[in-house]
Amino acid sequence: MRVEGPFVLPTRMLRYGAACRLLVLVRILIALSCLLPQIAFGQRSTLPKLTFSQVEELVSHQVPDSTLHSAILTRGLAFTPTTSMIGTLREKGAGPLVLSDLRDRTSGMDSSVRPMSSRPAVNRLVKGTPPKVTKTNGGCLVLNLTDTQRSAVSKFQDSHPQFVRYDFGPKEYADGSCLDTSQQWQMSDGDEVAEYPFAVWGDFNHDGFLDLALFFVSKLPALTHKWPMNGDFVYTYEYDWLIVIFHGSQDGSYAPVIAGRDRWAKAMDGVIFHRGRGRIEYWFKSAGGSVKWTGSGYRIEPMKSED
């Protein structure tokens, strides 16, 4: 049996895990009961608006995103969501539908939770044409590189045939998981610039020309971990990753620079450019890192907890 991921529970925890899942199911059923209307005999149903405490409890009990979304639409909210509330619910595991509901009801559309598309992608003084981001009929994002950018990426892959540019694949577009990834990635603070989950652009080396940061992953695992489990073995994999900055130039061409190398599972959460810190930041489930121009090159660092 082969499983791709960063961690596998040992065998002795399986029974305990089953009991925990049963307990979670019971807690979900109890939590769901608060969504049901209280109907007195001979009276019409009344649906009081949901309080923040109720929403928080339902999220904590892992009530399905679509179920809570429907409840919010039906009953409404007894509170005005704030940035702090949205952050709390996101940390507790709120899904993209619920987070979107809260953002839509935020008074004044706080800049820290507004959609990324409302932020300028590139300073108007920077020379160069940025990629375009479009959406499929299902709402998933699609990155459309310019012809020059596409040519530069193609040449880089030709010289690094063991790597491929990381992006949504046919499976993610077919099952809709690309939409969940995009919506989770779109939550950020006001200093963060995000144009696409797996790409970011701007003048990273401060020469006045547009640069493009992309991620490339090895086609084959670089490291395999073998774990005993229930008389069998499971396998987890680490892949080689390249963080490549395509530097723009006066003639419109792009020159690739490998800004960093690292090893992660084949599952990227997203990338942004943080204006305040002046660096590119990216996440891989339980790991992350940053890339920053030093004046003569790029420095890559693991993400610290206080970041």
- Could you report the per-residue pLDDT of 246-262, keeping only the tens digit for each? 999 999 999 999 999 98
pLDDT over 80 at 21, yes or no: no
pLDDT of residue 265: 84
Structure tokens at 235: 């396998």
Any residues with CB less than 8 A from the CB of 84 and at least 6 apart, and which?
none
Please indicate whether residue 136 or residue 16 has the higher confidence score (pLDDT): 136
pLDDT of residue 35: 53
For 156-170, write each residue's pLDDT tens digit.
999 999 999 999 988
pLDDT over 70 at 179, yes or no: yes
Q: How far apart are CA 186 and CA 111, in angstroms?
A: 12
Please indicate whether residue 41 or residue 162 has the higher confidence score (pLDDT): 162
Strands 199-202 and 223-229: unpaired
